[in-house]
A and B are shown apart, each in its own frame.
Chain A
Amino acid sequence: MYALYYIAGIAAAVSFLTDREKTIKALKIGWKKFNKILGTYLKLLIILSFILLISDQFIINYLGGQAPFIGLIMGLIIGSITMMPGFIAYPLAGILVSRGVDYMVVAAFITTLMLVGIATYPVEKEYFGIKATIWRNIAGFIISAFIALATGILYGEVFV
């Protein structure tokens, strides 16, 4: 994560030595864009604080002990609604696998977590517009379902 500071710092320094005015303009543009979106990001943070209340135990209960295809659908839905950083999501996925939950279900959960962002809608809408945001998320949902099925087939959990 600190890498980003080094990169930004070095880039800004090189830019400044090359062209002072351009660099100041760049920083102004960056600041303006940041300022404009900050409120939306804060709103997103509030939404995410509530969404993370969906506890690990809830997810383990709902994804474990289901028939494979019910589990698949639950995984797709829970993954779409929730949003969590990798350092929480992957250990949770590890627990699910160790409890005997199918890899297919875990894949459904993990990929929709990444590809479908109902919670990030307020931010995405600002940058992509409403229509593109909705279509992109629908596409993400379909892709996730394919990935989960492929995982199920390749792990021998589903037979075709």
Chain B
Amino acid sequence: MSKKDKKQKTNQKNKINYYIFAVFSVFMIASYFLNFELGNRITSNFMIFAKDMGAILPPAFVLIGLFEVWVSRESIENNFGNTSGFKKYIYAVLLAATTVGGTFVAFPVANSLYHKGANYSSIFTYVTAASLVMIPMSIMEASILGIKFTAIRIGVSLPLVIISSILLGNFFSKIDYKIPQPD
């Protein structure tokens, strides 16, 4: 498939999503005026995530754009690439812990990291850790469920996340898998 075809396909897919969303918006508005209870519950569910995403995505993509322009391929290869040893996992976890917005932001960031030379195992560690060790979430968890619970969860999961990232990373380099280029 040529690049142009691919672009056209993406545009078309986007268009369909926009149509679906337009229909959904009409449904939400109609539910409001018709006092359709189930519809109103769906609207309030929608707002829960939409508020978060609407606030987080714009600055996140500004940062991703700056990252693409300023960060050299070399530095990503050295820190997150095949030549980097175990320290890439530590960097990946640290980056994950400070990623605001969780997986919604971590997916595009991981994709950019990969295309700048990070290897599979580091981006798998990064994305998985981004949903596991977000600092504000973990604090909330510890205050409700107790520090012991959070300590077990993070302590047991991090080694497992790194081991599974290494296994998956080896598997994907062996089958010569390519992660999609976003543009």
Contacts and interface: CB of A to CB of B under 8 A. Distances in A.
| Interface magnitude class on chain B | 35 or more
Contacts of A93: 141, 144-145
A14 to B, nearest CB: 9
Given A26-B65, A28-B65, A85-B48, A136 B183 contact: no
| Interface magnitude class on chain A | 35 or more
Contacts of A12: 62, 66
A150 B152 contact: yes
Contacts of B15: 39
Contacts, number: 220
A110 B153 CA distance: 10
Contact of A94 (B13, B38, B53, B144): B144
Given A49-B49, A115-B131, A120 B183 contact: no
B42 A129 contact: no
Among A45, A91, A106, which residue has the most Cβ atoms of chain B within 10 A?
A45
A43 B168 contact: no
Contact of A34 (B17, B58, B100): B58
A158 interface: no
Nearest to A1: B55
A154 B152 contact: yes
A136 B124 contact: yes
B70 to A, nearest CB: 7
Nearest to B123: A128
Nearest to A84: B48
B86 interface: no
A9 B178 CA distance: 33
Contacts of B167: 139
A72 B127 CA distance: 25
Contact of B43 (A49, A94, A129, A155): A49
Given A127-B110, A136-B127, A38 B160 contact: no
Interface of A: 1, 3-5, 7-9, 11-12, 15, 22-23, 25-34, 36-43, 45-46, 48-50, 52-53, 85-88, 90-91, 93-94, 97, 103, 106-107, 110-111, 114-115, 117, 120, 123-124, 126-129, 131-132, 135-136, 139-140, 142-143, 146-147, 150-151, 154-155
23 contacts: A1-B56, A4-B101, A15-B69, A23-B69, A31-B61, A33-B183, A45-B50, A46-B46, A48-B45, A48-B49, A50-B42, A86-B136, A93-B144, A94-B145, A110-B153, A120-B104, A126-B182, A129-B177, A136-B128, A139-B128, A146-B156, A146-B160, A147-B156
